[in-house]
Structure 1
């Protein structure tokens, strides 16, 4: 393998590279998840305890302390804990996206030893980060489902569409992660900047409020947030018992594929200088 040769940037080469490394990606995701909790008393159980604790806090604060209600077109369907249930769905989606972006900026810097190994597929490192974030999102979803069954009842059958709703966001996250990972090698301020941006995205997405509650002049800005559509569709299938917007999902998926491929191209072009900088 010639380390100075520019890797192929075609979509086929991208898919083949990821497919060849699929077993390595799975092993690295498993190692990352287990290693994060290694040495603690609860071990992997912390991945379950943390979202359970946060859901309990949300339920207490918003249903008892603030007596908040979601309002909007679904106001009649709310119980006293519904606000926390609705809010937690938004937090799951935002948590998935923000974890990928925040870790991606330094993923190459934290794995310098892999950069020196010519045969190691560096492009899988952001994919591993996305896999770990998806695992934590899955655990949070299980906690949400258990809480929903206990506090409200069985959810509607439309919950089966949730993976379809989230899949384009994961592709988008990986595409952005490739860009941030390559930038983070040359610009060490990327990590701090991304942390600020993900916080801004939290408050510019309908996590704590419904889009319908905003003035009409502000709604276009909120809809530009890549999280808004996924959060709204996630709540539609998980809580309100509605079918997803398939046309909107197709459009979002096409845009996500474009970002996914564009991020791969950016990473492959930038990787030639990693060893010199690190």
Structure 2
């Protein structure tokens, strides 16, 4: 394959292999467990219950919408929508530094396209995110009797999220070959980012002087836009989305080229 080809080319060319490896990864996580695939539903529900209880009952937090605080039910729905976005990025990013060291057999096979491992990682994380989204849809139906039709805009909203996660995964997977502590650092970083993202509160709830700083977090815009289409029932901000898609697309291209430049040295280290 030409080294100067776009990042889209290897992903499309090896789409069947990506699908098979992602399927193996998802099924392999629950092999031997008692409830198996049900863990994909149970885990997000358990975290939702814990976070909702702690923040809405212990800390008495309320979700503020248009200046009017809303109750625990609205808090849980908005919280879950934010968690789905964060967990997709977090799962993909925290696993990235070990993608290459965990697959030494692939490294030794010259013909194996190591660059698709990040796509496999992303696809596996996306499966769990979509499962959580399905749970959220059921929760909305039980609470409100219907689902917002604007949820159909979600693929557009999540496109930059996918590109961003793929970009970071390529960078971390390449550096992780040479710097093994990166896996621990990425876990700490994502734990901090959990509370620096508008997950437990809307961005508008912050004092005006702090909002620009939190907006620097790339997940902030994507979390807010996800709530707009999934919970609020409004169309996304297309102008900003177009800008973010262009930026994350450029980031994905540069990250892919960085990975390909680092790739020839993997075998010597592994």
TM-based fold match above 0.5: yes
Let me know the Cα RMSD of the aligned residues: 1.6
1:90 to 71, 82, 90: 82
How many Å apart are 1:63 and its aligned residue?
4.2
User: Over residues 119-147 of structure 1, what are the superposed CA-to-partner deviations in whole Å (9 max), with x where a residue is unaligned?
Assistant: 00000001100001100100111111111
* Counterpart for residue 73 of structure 1: 66
1:233 aligns with 2:225: yes
Range that drifts further, 64-73 or 168-177: 64-73
d(CA) in 2 for partners of 1:53, 1:208:
16
1:208 aligns with 2:200: yes
1:1-278 matches, within 5 Å, as 7-11=2-6, 14-73=7-66, 75=68, 78-278=70-270
Range that drifts further, 149-158 or 121-130: 149-158
d(CA) in 1 for partners of 2:94, 2:50:
24
d(CA) in 2 for partners of 1:45, 1:197:
29
d(CA) in 1 for partners of 2:5, 2:84:
33
| Contact 1:174 1:260 (C-alpha < 8 Å) held by counterparts | yes
How many Å apart are 1:65 and its aligned residue?
4.2
How many Å apart are 1:72 and its aligned residue?
4.2
d(CA) in 2 for partners of 1:147, 1:269:
46
| Contact 1:233 1:244 (C-alpha < 8 Å) held by counterparts | yes
- Unaligned 5+ runs, structure 1: 2-6
Tell me the secondary structure at the aligned position of residue 71 of structure 1. strand
How many Å apart are 1:79 and its aligned residue?
4.0
Using structure 1 for the length normalisation, give the TM-score.
Answer: 0.92
Range that drifts further, 137-146 or 42-51: 42-51
How many Å apart are 1:84 and its aligned residue?
1.1
| Contact 1:106 1:191 (C-alpha < 8 Å) held by counterparts | yes
Moved segments of 4+, more than 6 Å? none
| Contact 2:86 2:219 (C-alpha < 8 Å) held by counterparts | yes
d(CA) in 1 for partners of 2:81, 2:41:
16
Change (3 A) 1:58 1:193: closer
Range that drifts further, 15-24 or 25-34: 15-24
| Contact 1:59 1:85 (C-alpha < 8 Å) held by counterparts | no
Tell me the secondary structure at the aligned position of residue 63 of structure 2. coil
| Contact 2:63 2:71 (C-alpha < 8 Å) held by counterparts | no
* Counterpart for residue 4 of structure 1: none
Tell me the secondary structure at the aligned position of residue 175 of structure 1. helix
- Give the count of matched residue pairs: 270
How many Å apart are 1:151 and its aligned residue?
2.0
d(CA) in 1 for partners of 2:85, 2:216:
16
- Unaligned 5+ runs, structure 2: none
How many Å apart are 1:224 and its aligned residue?
0.6
